[in-house]
Amino acid sequence: MDYSTMFRLDGKHAVVIGCGGIGAEIVEGMAAQGARVTCLDAQEEVAAAAATRAAEHSEAAARRADVLDPGSLADVAAQVADVDVLVLTAATNVRKPVLDYSAAEFDRVVDLNLRGTFNAVQAFAPAMAARGSGSIIALSSIRALAVEPGQGVYAATKAGMVQLLRALAAELGPRGVRVNAVAPGVVETPLTEQIRADEAWGRAYAEKSALGRWARPEELVGAVAYLASDAASFVTGSQLLVDGGWTAIDGRFTPPFG
C-alpha cells in the first residue's frame, strides 16, 4: 500500500447520478482527487453544470439519464466503459404524516429513492462484477436510523436502501465490488429549504447535533471520496454517518451540573 496516494482517485472513472446540490460538490471533489467523472442527471443542464466544475480538475463528461428509466440507464451504462466508482445521490421527500399521503406521493418518494437505487445498480454493477473491482456508494440519511413525524415514507425508503446495499455488499463482495452508504444529517440543500425557511425549525435542527449547526454540502465529499478510494479497500456493507453527532446525542438534554 502506498500511503502517500491511498486517498487519491487518479486513474479511476467515477459515475455520479444526481448532480445537483450535494451531488455537484461530490463531482468536483472526486475530480479534484484525480478521478475522471461522468455526470448523469435527469436534467441535462444540471449534469453539464457539474461537469464544467469538474473539468477544472480532471476529465469530465455529462449525459442525461433518469434513474426511473431503466432503458436510458442501460444505454448509458453500455456506452460508459470501465466504471470504477458509482455514486448515487438522487432523492426526494414529501413531508407530511403517513396517513395524509396520497398514493401518488407515496409512489413518487419510493420510486426515486428506492427503485432508482435498484435501477442504477442493476445497470452499472454487472460490468464492475465482471471486471472484479468497483465501489458503489449511495447517500442514505440519518432517517434510516432515527425518524420523526412527517418523515415516515422517506425514512422507510432510506432504511430500505441501506438493507438493499448490505445485500448487494454480500452478493458482490466475492466478485471484488464494495457497496456502502453515506448517511448525511441535516444539510443546507434545496431539499431542506422548507425547514430552514422556518427560523425556529431550522434552529431546532441545528441544536440537535453535537456541533450545533447544519452541514454544508461540501462536507459530505470527504466521506464519499474515502469510500471510493483504496483507503477503504476493506470497507463494505457499511453506513458512514456524517451527521455532526446527531444520532449520537439524539433527544439530547444537558442537565444542570453542580
Q: Hey, is 77 helix, strand or coil?
A: helix
Q: Hey, is 42 helix, strand or coil?
A: coil
Question: How do strand 36-41 and strand 85-88 relate by DSSP bridges?
Answer: unpaired
Is residue 250 domain-resident?
no
- pLDDT (0 to 100) of residue 251: 73
Is residue 257 domain-resident?
no
- pLDDT (0 to 100) of residue 193: 86
Q: What's the rounded Cα separation, in Å, for the pair 92 and 83?
A: 26
Is residue 252 domain-resident?
no
Q: What's the rounded Cα separation, in Å, for the pair 47 and 166?
A: 28
Q: Catalytic positions, please? A: 154
Is residue 209 domain-resident?
no
Is residue 200 domain-resident?
no
The count of domains in the chain is: 1
Identify the CATH number of the domain in which residue 101 sits.
Answer: 3.40.50.720
Is residue 134 domain-resident?
yes
Low-confidence ranges of the chain (pLDDT < 50): none
pLDDT tens track for 16-37: 999 999 999 999 999 999 999 9
pLDDT tens track for 144-198: 999 989 999 999 999 999 999 999 999 999 999 999 999 999 999 887 888 899 9
Query: At CB < 8 A and 24+ separation, what contacts does 37-41 make?
Result: 37/13, 37/61, 38/13, 38/14, 38/62, 38/63, 38/80, 38/83, 39/63, 40/15, 40/16, 40/64, 40/65, 40/76, 41/17, 41/65, 41/90
- pLDDT (0 to 100) of residue 220: 98
Is residue 197 domain-resident?
no
Is residue 33 within 8 A of residue 8, CB to CB? The reply is yes
- pLDDT (0 to 100) of residue 258: 58
Is residue 208 domain-resident?
no
Q: Would you give the distance in Å from CA 141 to the centre of its chain?
A: 9
The pTM assigned to this predicted structure is 0.95
Is residue 183 within 8 A of residue 248, CB to CB? The reply is no
Domain boundaries, position 35: 13-185+216-235
Closest CA relative to residue 166, chosen from 151, 146, 144: 144
